[in-house]
Structure formats: C-alpha cells, structure tokens
Amino acid sequence: MSERIPTYVLGGTGYVAGELLRLIAGHPDLELKALLSDSQPGEAVGAFFPHLRTSWPDLKFSSLEALGNALAAEGRSLAANPAPGGRGERACALFSAAPHGVSAALIDGLLTRAADAGARVRAVDISADFRYSTAAAYEKVYKHPHGAPARISDFTCAVPEQLRDLRTPHVAHPGCFATAVLLASVPLLALKMIEPRLFVAGITGSTGSGRKPTEGTHHPQRHSDLYAYNALAHRHAPEVTACALAASGVEADFAFVPHSGPFARGIHMTVQATLTKSIDSGAAIAALQDYYKDSFFVRVDAGSPRIKNVVCSNFAHLSAAANGRSIAVTCAVDNLNKGAAGGAVQWMNRMLGLEETAGLTAPAPGWT
C-alpha cells in the first residue's frame, strides 16, 4: 500500500502490548499513532519498555480521549480516500491488549465513536472478552458481566491457519495456551483421525501470567522448578472446546493440565488421543503436513519441537508420534508472539488486505 496504516494499541504497560509495539516497529505497513494507558498518560513509553526506546524515543502514553479523537479523525480520512487499485482496505488498525473484563468496553466505545464519525476501523482483541459466542458463556468462565454483549457478534475467535473465510469485521485472538492446543488438535478432529476425547499437558513461561509479580511468577519461586496448576479446571479449556468445534465441526472433550515452567517465554504442548484406526508416526506427520501445507508459519516434521526454535517468533513447530491406536502431537509456540501479539498482527494483515506474513517473518533468535 502507498501509505502506512494508522495503528492504535490498547493495553498500556503489559507484556503483550510491549510485544505488539516491537512487531509494529518492524512492520512495513503499520504506523503506530497512539498507545493507551489511562493510568500513565503523558509518561514516556520507553520508561516501561526500555528495549523499544530506539524505535520511539519520544512516544508517550495517550489518554482514552486523545486516542479516540485521533482514531476517529484518521479513520474518517481513510474512509474518504479509497486505496488505489484495490490494494487492501483503507482502515485504521486497532489492537487491544487490555485486561480481560476491561477490553470489551474500551473497544466498544472506540468502535462506536469511530462509526459515528464515519470512520473505518478493524480491531483485533487479544483479551478473552470476545472469545465466546454469547455473554452467558463468557460470564460462566470469568464470573462477571460482559462489557459489551451487543458487540460479540462482530467478532470471530479462531487461529488464523484454521479459518480462511472471515465473515465478521473484527477478530478475537485465542489465548496462548489455546493457540497451541488448537494447532495440535484441530487437524486430527477435522480429519476424523481421533476419538473426541483428548488429554492435554502444556508448559508455559512466566510471561504468560502478566507483568505484575505473583507467587507463581516470581523468579525465585519459579526458577529450577516445574509444577502443574488448575488441573482439569483451567479457564482456557472451554475456549478451546468452542474454537475446536467451530474449526473442525467436532464437539470434543479436552482434559487439560497446565504447568508452569522455569523460563520466561514459550509454550510446549502435548496432545494425546485415541486414533479411529491404527497408523504409524509417518502417516500422522504426513496428515499434519498436508493440513498445514499452505500455512507459512506452521512447520511439521519428525524432529521434536523445541521452545528455543520458536521463541520471539510467529512460527509454530509440530510433530507427532503414533503407536497402534495412540497418537501424541507436540507443539511449541511463543506465548507472547504466535500466541498473542504475532497472531493478532497476522489477523490484521489479512483483514486489511496485506500480505499475511508482513512484519512477521523474522526467525527465532535460537539461543535465548
């Protein structure tokens, strides 16, 4: 596109917001205009994200009012000036990394304001607020009223590789655990390779718990340790069930046991199930490779997925082993990137008619 796309981020000082800023800094088509922090308006972004000072040495957090004014004005300008030659939709990009229970109302207010101004905006929510198809389903998991129930039908929740025909104006990105589980399990369900009862064990890094230190994320507690938590009761399990049904057409039961790992970034997931007919490991890997043959960011091979090979990247590595009627699929992703900010940028690229891989092709560092 001839002009870069005005981009706005909600979420202030959190890890996912910081990862979004890092990706936007290297994106050829997105131009950051404002970052919301109602608690820190006017404060330097570099004070909270020192690693980004060279990208935005003068950037300061915006108030909600200032961000809303800029979003409406930019969106109205874009709507009045269609892109030449059909090169994508001219609209502002809005990302929300705001907390669960806060994001929905923020997004709803900004989208309403933009619509009233005749502005075009496409939104990706990385919180849990628009991951469920009804307010009741959301409230059952999160135990508080939904912030914008009338807006739910404007969002679709899916992993980008598992939905080609997006029919809503906005997207809810699945959680980081959910992303890894869905990448490993949906092909097996869609291809009717397994019985719909899956046993899932996932290990996540400490950044998955957010920036505020807790007993479970404080480094002296987590260092050189590994432990399960919320076994068979994690809040992502209902989300995975709903997304897997939408993506595969199969209603499955996921028995999920999450674990806290002694590292900062990354998720390693193992999904086990019973095959509908006996196959060997080669056939299992071939089936996954065929399912993801057009998915640039998903690599499937016989090697064991390793977190160090995907951390800080938007890539996912999968493998599989089959023995008689048993299958185990392993998956490694970065929780902040593929599981959050990177997947969100991937969705935004598609919604705005950009190359889906734009700004996301950097490989993992390898020796983090």
- Could you say which of 157, 176, 243, 312 is catalytic? 176
* Other beta carbons within 10 Å of 33: 20
Q: Let me know: does 179 contact 333? Beta carbons within 8 Å.
A: yes
Note down pLDDT in tens along the chain; length 368 residues.
Answer: 458 999 999 987 889 999 999 999 999 999 999 999 877 888 999 988 999 999 989 999 999 999 999 999 988 888 787 665 445 568 999 999 999 999 999 999 999 999 999 999 999 999 999 999 999 999 999 999 999 999 999 999 999 999 999 999 999 999 999 999 999 999 999 999 999 999 999 999 988 766 677 776 777 788 899 999 999 998 889 999 999 999 999 999 999 999 999 999 999 999 999 999 999 999 999 999 999 999 999 999 999 999 999 999 999 999 999 999 999 999 999 999 999 999 999 999 999 999 999 999 999 999 88
The pLDDT assigned to 221 comes to 82
For each of the domains in the chain, give its residue range(s) and CATH number, in order of start: 5-157 (3.40.50.720), 177-335 (3.30.360.10)
Q: Which two tokens stand for residue 55?
A: 């990208």
The backbone region for 279, taken as left when phi is positive above 0, alpha when psi lies in -120 to 50, beta otherwise, is: beta
pLDDT in tens, 222-276: 889 999 999 999 888 999 999 999 999 999 999 999 999 999 999 999 999 999 9
Active site includes 331? no
Query: To which H or E segment does residue 320 belong?
Result: strand 316-323
Q: Let me know: does 360 contact 23? Beta carbons within 8 Å.
A: yes
User: Comparing C-alpha atoms, which of 328, 338, 213 is closest to residue 280?
Assistant: 328
CA-to-CA dists, residue 14 to 8, 128, 158, 174, angstroms: 15, 15, 23, 17
Q: Which two tokens stand for residue 175?
A: 């959680």
The pLDDT assigned to 252 comes to 98
